C-alpha cells in the first residue's frame, strides 16, 4: 500500500509542507509506505499541447508523453493507492507548479470521444491540503469545487482539508505587513494551526485505511 504526498509550495518547510508531511506521517503510522515529492524542486512545465496522449495506437496514448522530472511523479500518482496534494492559495488559485501538474495529470486521462471518457482505469482516493494566509471567508469556493470535481472525475474520490489565516513570517517586523493583525496571526498559529496539522495527520490515517480496504 503506497501513499504519495505532493508539496506544491515553493517553501519546503512552512504551512503546506507541514500539512503534507503530517498527512504522510498519519498514513505511515497506519501501515502505508509513503513518499514525498516537492514539486518546486523538480524541473518541469505544464501541458505542451503535443496531443501524443490522444494519438491512436501511440505508445503514449492515455499517458503524458513529456519525458521530464515530472514524468515519474505522474507514474507514481497513477499507480499509488492514495495521494495528498498540498498547495498554498495564491490570488484565489493553486500555485503555478500545482496547476502545471494538474494540466498534465488530467488532460492525458481525457479521451476525445463523444462520451468524454476517462481512460484511467483505477480509482485512487485523493485529499487536497490547501493553505491560505487570508481568512476562511476569502476562500475561493468555486475553485475548490472545480478542482474537487475534476479530481474526482479523473482520479478518484476527493476531499478538501484547509488551513486558513496562516502565518507567513516568523518576524513580521521585517516586512511590510500593516494590513495584518500580527498578534492575532501569532495567536492563531499557536492555537489553531496545530489543530489543522492534526486534521492532516488524521486524514493520513483514514486514507491509508481506505486504501487498505478497512473503510
User: Mean pLDDT of all residues in the chain?
Assistant: 92
pLDDT digit string (tens) for 166-210? 989 888 888 898 888 888 888 998 999 999 999 999 999 999 998
Phi and psi based region of residue 49 (left: phi greater than 0; alpha: psi -120 to 50; beta: remaining): left
- CATH value at residue 25: 3.40.50.360
Please say whether the beta carbons of 26 and 198 come within 8 A: no
215 pLDDT more than 70: no
pLDDT, mean of residues 80-99: 94
Domains identified in the chain, total number: 1
* Parent domain of 13: 2-211
Sign for the pseudo-dihedral over CA of 126, 2, 73, 199? positive
Distances in Å between the alpha carbon of 177 and those of 7, 147, 164, 187, 190? 26, 31, 17, 16, 19
Amino acid at each position: 500500500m503506497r501513499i504519495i504526498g505532493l508539496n506544491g509550495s515553493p517553501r519546503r518547510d512552512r504551512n503546506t509542507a507541514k500539512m503534507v508531511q503530517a498527512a504522510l506521517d498519519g498514513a505511515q503510522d497506519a501501515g502505508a509506505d509513503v513518499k514525498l515529492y516537492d514539486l518546486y524542486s523538480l524541473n518541469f512545465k505544464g501541458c505542451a499541447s503535443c496531443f501524443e496522449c490522444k494519438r491512436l495506437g501511440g505508445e503514449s496514448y492515455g499517458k503524458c508523453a513529456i519525458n521530464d522530472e515530472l514524468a515519474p511523479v505522474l507514474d507514481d500518482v497513477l499507480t499509488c493507492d492514495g495521494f495528498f496534494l498540498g498547495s498554498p492559495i495564491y490570488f484565489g488559485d493553486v500555485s503555478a507548479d500545482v496547476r502545471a501538474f494538474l494540466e498534465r495529470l488530467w488532460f492525458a486521462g481525457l479521451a476525445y470521444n463523444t462520451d468524454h471518457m476517462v481512460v484511467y482505469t483505477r480509482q485512487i482516493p485523493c485529499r487536497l491540503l490547501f493553505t491560505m494566509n487570508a481568512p476562511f471567508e476569502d476562500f475561493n469556493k468555486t475553485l475548490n469545487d472545480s478542482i474537487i470535481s475534476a479530481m474526482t472525475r479523473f482520479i478518484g474520490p476527493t476531499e478538501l482539508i484547509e488551513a486558513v489565516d496562516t502565518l507567513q513570517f516568523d518576524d513580521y517586523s521585517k516586512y511590510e505587513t500593516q494590513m495584518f493583525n500580527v498578534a492575532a496571526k501569532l495567536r492563531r498559529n499557536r492555537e489553531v494551526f496545530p489543530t489543522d496539522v492534526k486534521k492532516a495527520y488524521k486524514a493520513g490515517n483514514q486514507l491509508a485505511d481506505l486504501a487498505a480496504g478497512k473503510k
